[in-house]
Amino acid sequence: MRFDYAGTSVFVAGGTSGINLGIADAFAEAGAKVAVMSRNAERVNGAVQELSKHGGKVLGLQGDVRDFTQVRTAMEAAKEAHGAFGVLVSGAAGNFLCPALDLSPNGFKAVVDIDLLGTFHVMRAGFDFARRPGASFINISAPQSISPAPMQVHVCAAKAGLDQVMRVLALEWGEHGVRVNSIMPGPIEGTGGLSRLLTETERPQFESRVPLRRVGQKDDVANMALFLGSPLASYITGALIPVDGGVSLLGGRNYAGTPQPTPRA
Ligand code: HXC
Ligand code: NAP
């Protein structure tokens, strides 16, 4: 085991799939008591089943980050069961490719509400349920926060906004002993995000452009979360940390191959 999180209460918003579930899994493996929250009951139950294999305390909660009351209610239950949060992760997000001229105001709002407003909800509610001093708050950003990417005006705006939320909260909450940082994953294997951006056919060409010549693994991101939650990171706050194989150096236009709009569900 690389880190010892025995006794630590960890809450992961959007932690029932993909990268965020990978983060929850890493903390559970390291001995933490883990609570995950998302909208879909089936996904919540599946995540609880998966996380339980490590033998620790696991709690699955249904909730939508767009609704502040639902976030608070889930967090109250998690604190009651596991204690004040030592680590809080805000990872819920939505994404689809759509040119700005075809994007309705409601489509723009849908993503901003999940990624940006949702992150404020998670951070703000989380402050009341966190260990103070000592908690580590982690937002999940994306390269789109610094690199404008075609067909993603909604995602670029939302992720840039949540990075500024992170910086302001780091300024304001340092005195309470709460650190706030963002991880910026690159394209990560086997996730909803990657499948929306890249077809399997495009992948080899894309990987040849990544400075480290591969897409990332969920563990690459989870390892950074384990580090940020630990005393090794006790002097780090307000940082946007790429875990992207160098992809953010490429600029958004080169991020994907030939992006196609995502068909509506
Ligand atoms: C254009 C679309 C659209 C699409 C939805 N809309 N899909 N517009 N192209 N493909 C529009 C709808 O028409 C509607 O506007 C508005 O968006 C809201 O749609 P709903 O379906 O009602 O929204 P909702 O049920 O809230 O779902 C939100 C969602 C959905 C974002 C659209 O995809 C979702 O829940 N996603 C969560 C999972 C996810 O996206 N994971 C990827 C994370 S990866 P109108 O005007 O018609 O009412 C990531 C990026 C990382 O974030 C980068 C990767 C490398
Ligand atoms: P994913 O597999 O699609 O998972 C998204 C998670 O968020 C699901 O658990 C989903 O569960 C939950 N969620 C979505 N909307 C929610 C809402 N309104 N309230 C609560 N939970 C909600 O995503 P992913 O691709 O792994 O991405 C995870 C994070 O990494 C995101 O922040 C994304 O922007 C970022 N990222 C991903 C990549 C990548 O390559 N995939 C790259 C860069 C950044 P429910 O549907 O049950 O709600």
Q: Over the stretch 17-45, which tens digit does the pLDDT of each residue have?
A: 999 999 999 999 999 999 999 999 999 99
* pLDDT, mean over the chain: 95
Residue 90 and residue 75: Cα distance in Å, rounded?
12
* Degrees, nearest 5: CA angle 170-174-178: 85
Backbone angles phi, psi at 190, to 5 degrees: 70, 35
Using the predicted structure, report yes or no on whether residue 175 has a pLDDT greater than 90: yes
Using the predicted structure, report yes or no on whether residue 242 has a pLDDT greater than 80: yes
Q: Are 94 and 115 in contact (CB under 8 A)?
A: yes
Residue of the CA atom closest to atom 54 of ligand 1: 193
Using the predicted structure, report yes or no on whether residue 48 has a pLDDT greater than 70: yes
List, chain by chain if needed, residues with CB within 6 Å of any ligand 2 atom: 14, 16-20, 38-40, 43, 64-66, 91-94, 114, 118, 140, 142, 185, 187-188, 191-194
Q: Are 109 and 155 in contact (CB under 8 A)?
A: no
Domains and CATH numbers, the chain: 12-249 (3.40.50.720)
Question: For residue 184, how far is its CA from the centre of ligand 2 (angstroms)?
Answer: 13
**Among 106, 154, 188, 248, which is best to mutate for testing ligand 1, by the most ligand atoms less than 8 A from CB?**
106
pLDDT of residue 257: 55
pLDDT digits (tens, 9 = 90+) for 123-173: 999 999 999 999 999 999 999 999 998 999 999 999 999 999 999 999 999
Residue 260 and residue 89: Cα distance in Å, rounded?
31
Question: For residue 244, how far is its CA from the centre of ligand 1 (angstroms)?
Answer: 24
pLDDT category of residue 256 using cuts at 50, 70 and 90: low
pLDDT digits (tens, 9 = 90+) for 74-87: 999 999 999 999 99
Average pLDDT (4-20) is 98
Q: Are 247 and 141 in contact (CB under 8 A)?
A: no
Decide whether any atom of ligand 1 lies within 6 Å of the 162 Cβ.
Answer: no
Question: For residue 15, how far is its CA from the centre of ligand 2 (angstroms)?
Answer: 8
pLDDT of residue 253: 65
**Closest approach atom of ligand 2 to CA 155:** 34
Percentage with pLDDT > 90 across the chain = 86
pLDDT category of residue 258 using cuts at 50, 70 and 90: low
Residue 119 and residue 112: Cα distance in Å, rounded?
10
Of 29-33, 64-68, 69-73, 250-254, where does mean pLDDT reach its minimum? 250-254
pLDDT digits (tens, 9 = 90+) for 104-125: 999 999 999 999 999 999 999 9
Using the predicted structure, report yes or no on whether residue 233 has a pLDDT greater than 80: yes
Whole-model pTM?
Answer: 0.97
Using the predicted structure, report yes or no on whether residue 1 has a pLDDT greater than 60: no
Residue 49 and residue 165: Cα distance in Å, rounded?
33
Distances (CA, A) of 24 to 27, 100, 262: 5, 34, 28
Neighbours of 239 (CB within 10 A): 16
Using the predicted structure, report yes or no on whether residue 196 has a pLDDT greater than 60: yes
Residue of the CA atom closest to atom 41 of ligand 2: 193
**Among 16, 37, 65, 104, which is best to mutate for testing ligand 1, by the most ligand atoms less than 8 A from CB?**
104
Q: Are 76 and 35 in contact (CB under 8 A)?
A: no
Residue of the CA atom closest to atom 12 of ligand 1: 107
pLDDT category of residue 91 using cuts at 50, 70 and 90: very high
* Bigger pLDDT: 260 vs 5: 5
Strand 85-90 with 9-13, pairing:
parallel
Residue of the CA atom closest to atom 2 of ligand 1: 107
pLDDT of residue 192: 83
Residue of the CA atom closest to atom 34 of ligand 1: 94
SS (H, E, C) the chain: CCCCCCCCEEEEECCCCHHHHHHHHHHHHCCCEEEEEECCHHHHHHHHHHHHHHCCCEEEEECCCCCHHHHHHHHHHHHHHHCCEEEEEECCCCCCCCCHHHCCHHHHHHHHHHHHHHHHHHHHHHHHHECCCCCEEEEECCHHHCCCCCCCHHHHHHHHHHHHHHHHHHHHHHHHCCEEEEEEECCECCCHHHHHHCCCCCHHHHHHHCCCCCCECHHHHHHHHHHHHCHHHCCCCCCEEEECCCHHHCCHHHCCCCCCCCCCC
pLDDT of residue 203: 86
